[in-house]
Chains A and B, each alone.
Chain A
Amino acid sequence: MPQVKLFGILRQHAGSPQLIFAGETVRNVLQDLCAGKPELCAAIFTADQTGLRPHIRIMLNGRDIDMLQGFETPVGESDTLAIIPPIAGGFS
């Protein structure tokens, strides 16, 4: 099942740096996440659940999903998703 890595402050919401969820697309995996971890879900999605909160990035195997097929990007069994909260280091 796909691994979901969490960084920064999201770990506190999840209670763990890494979790496992099921899904065949990024959208499915995130739905599974929301079903299992509502507090984490609230930190990632806007209140009306129409989109990601500003500055949240999602990567599949190190590639930003915006550069792939977005939420419809297929996720394989041994793939890793990473959810990145608003952060910066150095200078943006």
Chain B
Amino acid sequence: MQGWAGKILDIDLTNGAVRTLPLDMEMARLFLGGRGLGARLLWDLVGPEVEPLAPENVLIFAVGPLTASGAQTSNRFSVSTKSPLTGTGLDANSGGWWGMQFKRTGHDALIVRGKAEHPVLIEITPAGVQIKDATHLWGKTVFETTALLGQDNQKRNVLCIGPAGENRSRMASIMNDGTRALARGGPGAVMGSKNLKAIVVEGDQKNQPEDRERFRFMLYETGKLIKASPITSQAYPEFGTAVVMNVVNEIGALPTRNFLQSQFENAELISGEHMADTILVKNQACWACPIACTRVTKTSHSEGEGPEYETAWAFGAQLGVSDLELIAEANYLCNDLGLDTISTGSTIGCAMELAEHGLIDSSLRFGRGDLLHETIRDIAYRRNLGDELAEGSYRFADSYNASEYSMSSKKLEMPAYDPRGMQGQGLLYATSNRGACHMRGNMLGPEVLALPRLIDRLAYQGKAGIVAVHQNAAALVDSLVICKFTNVAVAEEYFARLLSAVSGLDFTAENLMRVGERTWNMERLYNLREGFTKADDTLPDRMLNDPVEEGPSAGYTVHLEPMLKEYYAFRGWDAQGVPSSKIEGAGIG
């Protein structure tokens, strides 16, 4: 293979049909792989009449032309589907080893359709593709399933759902290699609705670069940059992503107690620094990654991976909880049960607020960390209040006519940055295709860390261009598929040359930015076809109308309307946010 394997595996679980289809190389050139390819295929395969949890929905697991090439962080992959949480097009992205191994089976993507009559697993090895009975695994947790199916990081990799996916929680994740997650938007529920428990891969093919010398040179250059950047060579390995906890708190943008406040008095206790002083055992890397940001941690009762910044926030500041061990254990639990930590934490926080107002009958209150683990289990097993919480914060709060307490956009819960203190982030959340998300172009860089240069986080004019460019860049990275942390140190021109060296084709940095833009527009059109409109490019009322009360961002709300106007203009969309020009190669418009 040079870049692309040229093959898509297509499996229909309803009738057991296994086919290999050729990859349309023109589509590959325009969308590359991963998220881009997934978005393009989803347009063809899943129309507005399809319910997310119905057999007609599909799961598209996709890797990219750089996957398994040996380029730094070339281990990642994505899954695309229609989200049961948001109803938008969805892609979720994960690391570890599974993506690398899937590529080594000689495929660019796997499409899973239909629904099996009883629980099954898919096994892809050099001997062939098999759909096997998995009834004995149904009900088992992620860690149990992963071990039972013979997980061996370098050779045999397990992707599976846990009880949350089986019980179709709308916040259920798909886990791979035990602790890596395809989480936001609830793809685990789709997998559960298909009675698909796991996908196991073993491969023996290599992604050999076409121009080996050029590839080696590029690897040297990108390696140099990653080593030279103190962020990728010191901050991430040493403190992990939770190192930003104190910084975001310092500027008054750390959402606390369901976004009621923007600073958490105990931020220090859930920070990366505190983690390094207490529960951290060591750091760890995914395949082919020199950055090694994973936290291997140990508490008095248990051990595992994480928590990341978002999780430390979701079970920490969001709930008014400061016990890091409790939070870490909540993380291990979510991994084992297969739940998205961000949505789960945010939803529990929403429930806490409703309980405090007496709108629901529950002992949940801000600060009740003692109820956390049990609530998480209840969500995964759909017991008690957990059955309602499993629907996600929006549907949950809406059932009590209190949807304004759901801190979400397009029903996806907002992550750990209060947009009132970071205006550009507000625009990002509101316009993000899969719902409020920071991974679609985190404005933390320009608005706080001066990467590449500092812009005023409280100003709302002139944000649109930077947000849009960051969104395009993130979409590109998700289509290559590599890790966004590489992008902290390495610019798109390097990716272009890496890709050229691997594939033998000529790519420029701008070609790649166009891939990002094209993917973004593709996702936008998909949502418009689903019935989403400009009215959905919005934020909770609290963000638009309740000014922050205290701290460095006091007095601010999100000035969304002027930013949105500038944004639509920048993207060349009309005043209703509809892309007006054709999307190349999309076969539509």
Contact = CB atoms under 8 A, between A and B. Distances in A.
A and B directly contacting (CB within 8 A): yes
A71 B445 CA distance: 22
Given A8-B243, A88-B235, A88-B451, A62 B488 contact: no
**Interface residue tally on B, bucketed by range:** 35 or more
Interface in B438-467: 438-439, 441-442, 444-446, 448-451, 454, 456-458
Nearest to B456: A67
B454 A92 contact: no
26 contacts: A7-B246, A7-B250, A7-B273, A54-B230, A55-B230, A55-B449, A57-B450, A59-B250, A61-B552, A62-B252, A62-B552, A82-B250, A85-B235, A86-B229, A87-B449, A88-B235, A88-B236, A88-B244, A88-B449, A88-B488, A90-B438, A90-B439, A90-B442, A91-B441, A92-B451, A92-B488
B292 to A, nearest CB: 15
Interface string A59-73: 101111011000000
B199 interface: no
B231 A88 contact: yes
Interface of A: 5, 7-9, 11, 17, 54-55, 57, 59, 61-64, 66-67, 82, 84-92
A84 B268 CA distance: 14
A92 B439 CA distance: 9
A89 B552 contact: no
Given A9-B238, A90-B309, A91-B484, A84 B247 contact: yes
Those 4 A-B pairs whose CB atoms lie nearest each other, nearest first: A62-B552, A92-B445, A89-B244, A86-B230
Nearest to B240: A89
Nearest to B242: A89
Contacts of B484: 91
A59 B457 CA distance: 13
A48 B251 CA distance: 30
A42 to B, nearest CB: 14
Contacts of B239: 8-9, 87
Nearest to A62: B552
A88 B552 CA distance: 20
A79 B505 CA distance: 56
Contacts of A91: 438-439, 441-442, 444-445, 474, 484-485, 487-488
A87 B272 CA distance: 11
B250 A89 contact: no
Given A62-B250, A92-B445, 19 more contacts: A5-B246, A8-B235, A8-B238, A8-B239, A8-B243, A8-B272, A54-B230, A62-B251, A62-B252, A62-B552, A64-B448, A86-B229, A87-B244, A89-B444, A90-B415, A90-B442, A91-B442, A91-B444, A92-B444
